[in-house]
Amino acid sequence: MDEQGGAVAGKVGLKTEVKTFSAEEDTLGNEISNASHPRRWTNAKVSLNIDEVTRQIQQNPNISGGLRSPQPWAQILDRSIKRCLLNEGTRHLLLGLTKEEWGWGALFWAYQVVVDSESDPVSMLVFHGQPHIPTVESAAISIVIASTFVNLIEYYISRKTQGNPYRLSLFIGPQFDRALILNATGRFSTLAKSLVETK
């Protein structure tokens, strides 16, 4: 709109991107009821858009074998499955907590920050036991140490009970370390490949 209230039209380019796959979480029958987050596991369901994959293979001039060539199909399957597992796995590890688990996790982290400000070994030496505002680094170290200790106890207890295995982590709440490992290993792994060697 201009200053007089008149409309000014302009030409805008629009590009529509069609996805080759879609992913969704599938938790049907594979989770323990009332289990804690480290004992809840999830499945991911991948749906491949065959029409879009076919279109991309046909329009790619670098693919000599066309739709009968197994290599492009293997590459698209591998890329789709990996992206699905990374997206859904990361979401489950970082955001798959219940409201109660978010609340208890926040209380646990807050408690560790309070403890760190009063009685951790570094504070005793540097601040002579006087209350102070902890640094981000010291608070993070305190949270990791306490979380690992609690998780090790939970892991030991869970080995004596039946059900899904306990997913050990350095954190109470969102499992940042697990998500980092998943993404680091997943990006460099091959999940689908052609069984026919290309000449």
Residues 125-161: tens digit of each pLDDT:
454 455 556 677 777 888 888 899 999 998 888 887 7
pLDDT at residue 74, as a whole number: 81
| 120 has a pLDDT exceeding 80 | no
pLDDT at residue 52, as a whole number: 81
Residue spans of the domains in the chain: they are: 18-97+178-199, 98-173
The 3 state secondary structure assigned to the chain is CCCCCCCCCCCCCCCCCCCCEEEEEECCCCCCCCCCHHHCCCEEEEEECHHHHHHHHHHCCCCCCHHHCHHHHHHHHHHHHHHHHHHHHHHHHHHCCCHHHHHHHHHHHHHHHHHHCCCCHHHHHHCCCCCCCCCHHHHHHHHHHHHHHHHHHHHHHHCCCCCCCCCCCCCCCCCHHHHHHHHHHHHCCCCCCCCCCCC
pLDDT at residue 106, as a whole number: 92
Q: What is the mean pLDDT of the chain?
A: 76
Residue range 25-47, pLDDT digits in tens: 665 444 555 678 888 888 877 78
pLDDT category of residue 18 using cuts at 50, 70 and 90: low
Please give the residue that has the higher pLDDT: either 171 or 60: 171
Q: Mean of the pLDDT values across residues 71-87?
A: 83
Percent of the chain whose pLDDT exceeds 90: 19
Please give the residue that has the higher pLDDT: either 1 or 117: 117
pLDDT at residue 113, as a whole number: 78
Q: Mean of the pLDDT values across residues 1-23?
A: 52
pLDDT at residue 1, as a whole number: 47
Q: Are 145 and 152 in contact (CB under 8 A)?
A: no
pLDDT at residue 169, as a whole number: 92
| 77 has a pLDDT exceeding 90 | no
Q: Mean of the pLDDT values across residues 62-67?
A: 67
User: 28-33 contacts: CB < 8 A, separation 24 or more?
Assistant: 31/164, 32/163, 32/164
